[in-house]
Structures are given as structure tokens and as C-alpha cells.
Structure 1
Amino acid sequence: MFFIVVCFLVFSYSAHGQPSDAYRSWSGANSFFAWALPQDDQITLINTLREKNVRVIRIFLATIDNGQAGSRAIAANDIERYRVGSPYTDSDMLTRVDQFIRNIDVYGAGRIKLIIALHDRYSLGCYAYKADSYVSKYG
């Protein structure tokens, strides 16, 4: 199973350059399509990150391709991919994000927080096939 998860560490240092209290140190992961993974992959990812003491996961609400980045991600369209302000009739993305939030709550054991970004650079037109309706309306 392949996951592209970029981890970053943030350490707190004292005035003498020594690490301060360990409880102040934390790490986080960007996993822009974690919510689009099948349930068992989500659970494996969350359990692994929790075991490694990761405290934050950031996801992005954006168009996801089948097999994104070599994973088993299931394709999903951005909520407003085709028209700004349009009432969406396909709530699949929101349903899947809701399930991911529940999985974070259960399998993260209260130790993992979730940051949800509403856009990413690809939605804003870096790759034309993923550009959302905001790009076509506002350029």
C-alpha cells in the first residue's frame, strides 16, 4: 500500500538550544486525499500515524483521481467543480469526509486533530483538468 504523506516535525527549544518539555513537541502529516481512501486503508493510515505520535493530519477538499499517487483512492469531484454556488446534488465527497472525521475520532483515540483545507493549488488552476469553478468564473 502506498501513501504519499509528507511529515513535518515542529520542536520547541529552550533558551539554551536544548529541547524543552516533550509534551510540547508534535508532528503532523499532509495527506490530501486520505478521506478518499477505502475504509481499511484509512484505518491503517490513522493507526500508523497515531502509533508514530502524529498529532495533526491535514486533508484537502479537492478533486481526487482513482488510484491517486499510487494509492487505492476512490475518485471524487470537488463540491463546486463545475459551477460556483451551485446547489450540489452529489454529496459523496462530504459523506466520505464525514466518515474520515469519524475514523479520526475513533482510531485517532482523541490524540489526532484534523485540519481541512477547502482548496489546494491544483483546484486553483495549476493543472487544467483539476481546475474548479472558481478558476473559470474568476480567472
Structure 2
Amino acid sequence: MVEKLKAVERSRPGTAAELQAVQEGIRVLENLVSMGEEKNRVQLLALLVPTLISYLLDENAISSAPQVSKSLHDFALQNLMRIGPLYPAAFKTVIGAAPELKTRLESAVRANQASSKAKAAARQAQPAVQAAPTIKLKTSFF
């Protein structure tokens, strides 16, 4: 199953059904990590974390990627952001063992934060529609 999930990096899902199958496979791995003993957690995360990081898109490729690939990217990033705080020591060990994983994860997090800030700024930049004044003068002074 891990081999199938790792193969997704080379052959991205093309349909929503394929995406759902990959997501379910990741959830199975996450359950194994949570059910595993503390002493085996690093080895289990060593299977899960690199797989999730392999699903992250390069910040330049996100805009031109198909929607299914973007969804997989978002799913992987959300899971990585959730897993890190759950198992901080094991997560740091896995990320520390492979600097390229750390670099890729950091760039994805930065791109996600920049995208979130840009969306928030766009929402705030929309001018509020001013209502017409509700008080009208009935008398003309001219």
C-alpha cells in the first residue's frame, strides 16, 4: 500500500475518485501511526511524512496544476500541519533526517501563508457600497 501511495508522486490522480482513494490510503497510514507504539512512531512517520511531502506542488506549479492535484496538495499540507504538533519529536527526527523534505515543506507552508494573506487582503480591499443618505431635505433654499 505504501508503494502505491508513493507512486502517486509520479502519476498524480486524474479524477476525484482516484484522489479519494489516495486520501483514504493516507488516512489508513495516519491511523497506523496513531495506533503504533511510541518507540515505533519514528519509523511509521518515516513512511507517512515523505509520502505527504511528495504530494506538495512547487509554488510555481500550483497555479497551472489541475484542480485534482491542487486538492491533493492542500490535503497533504493540512495533514502535515496537523501531524507535526501531534508527534513533535518524531516529526522533527524524520524531517531532520532529510533536508530536502524540510526545504520542500517550508516552501509549501510559505506559499500557503502568502496565498492566505493575499486572499485576506483582496477581501478587505473590496470597497463597501455606500448607501444613499436616508435624510432628504424637503425644502429648497434656492
TM-score of the two chains, using structure 2 as the length reference: 0.33
Higher strand share: 1
Higher helix share: 2
Give 1 or 2 for the bigger CA radius of gyration. 2
TM-score of the two chains, using structure 1 as the length reference: 0.33
